[in-house]
Homo-oligomer: A and B are copies of this chain.
Amino acid sequence: MSEDRPMSEAKDLEMRQTEARAAFEELRRKILAALEALEAECPGPFAEPDQQPGRFVETDWVRADHLGGDGGGGRMALLNGRLFEKAGVHCSTVYGSFPPEFAAQIPGAEEDPQFWASGISLIVHPFNPHVPTVHMNCRYVATSKAWFGGGADLTPMLDARRQQEDADAIDFHAAMKGACLRHREVADYARFKQWCDDYFYLKHRKEPRGIGGIFFDYVSTPAGFDAELAFVRDVGESFLAIYPKIVRRNFATPWAEAERDAQLVRRGRYVEFNLLYDRGTIFGLKTGGNVDSILSSMPPLVKWP
């Protein structure tokens, strides 16, 4: 690499890893603060009206690499509240070597199984069936290659609201589109939106999980690391700009028992998706990941009548 290149291009992998990790952890702090603020603010109709606002409880965990050495770890934050029946926001930075049976499936790990990965993931299961469930994650992965992956998608729980014409769906899509359009050199909105629709699909039921959003992986572009990280940060900021707005517009709407029931059944679809299809969940569970943080995506209460 030429000595004449600007510092930003010459940045070595270690600096990029440090920056990506710091960005995820900054995003984490902002998201925890935003969700706790919503919890404190909400005076809506809850299961137990006198319940105090929930606060995040944080737990650190460490990972042993499959060869037994230091494998990194993470911090999970879980909230069981009155607005958010369950919310999980997790950061982790893990490293080591992939077990042989997985190395072949990972770009750049075919010959050298060493990897490093840092990311943030969140899932929010609100009490009120009118407030959509949301999921977001961003990660930076380094093998002999390095790339960003991630996305955000919205799952309104009631059939009448799980529609592309609904204001929540329109605004969520607009937010994700905005993040992509502000970083055209990195993000192809049409492709990332389609990827989301294709990914979050329950094949056995022939139905989508929610109304979509964006999904991307293996993002490594000529625009370079700084531009890519700026895009991923913008996905996080766009989530922070839109989800609280969607929560505020819905959380005071009263619900009937039948709507709560519909929500609990819909949550079953979420479980089915995560355990049957989600690559991150299955991969994490089968490679000795932290069971508590991986399965904190499971909804707090679910019905299969």
Contact = CB atoms under 8 A, between A and B. Distances in A.
Given A80-B305, A305-B80, A204 B285 contact: yes
Interface stretch (A97-105, A187-195, A236-244, A267-275): A267-275
A126 to B, nearest CB: 15
Interface stretch (A41-49, A129-137, A295-303): A295-303
Nearest to A267: B302
B300 A303 contact: yes
Contacts of A282: 276
Interface residues on A, range: 20 to 34
B204 A291 contact: yes
A220 B141 CA distance: 49
A296 B301 CA distance: 17
Contact of A299 (B205, B264, B304): B304
Interface of A: 80, 86, 203-205, 264, 268, 271-272, 275-276, 282, 285-286, 291, 295-296, 298-305
Given A204-B285, A276-B285, A301-B303, 8 more contacts: A203-B285, A204-B286, A264-B301, A271-B302, A272-B275, A296-B304, A301-B302, A302-B303
27 contacts: A80-B305, A86-B304, A86-B305, A203-B285, A203-B286, A204-B285, A204-B286, A204-B291, A264-B301, A271-B302, A272-B275, A272-B295, A275-B276, A276-B282, A276-B285, A295-B304, A296-B304, A298-B304, A299-B304, A300-B303, A300-B304, A300-B305, A301-B301, A301-B302, A301-B303, A302-B302, A302-B304
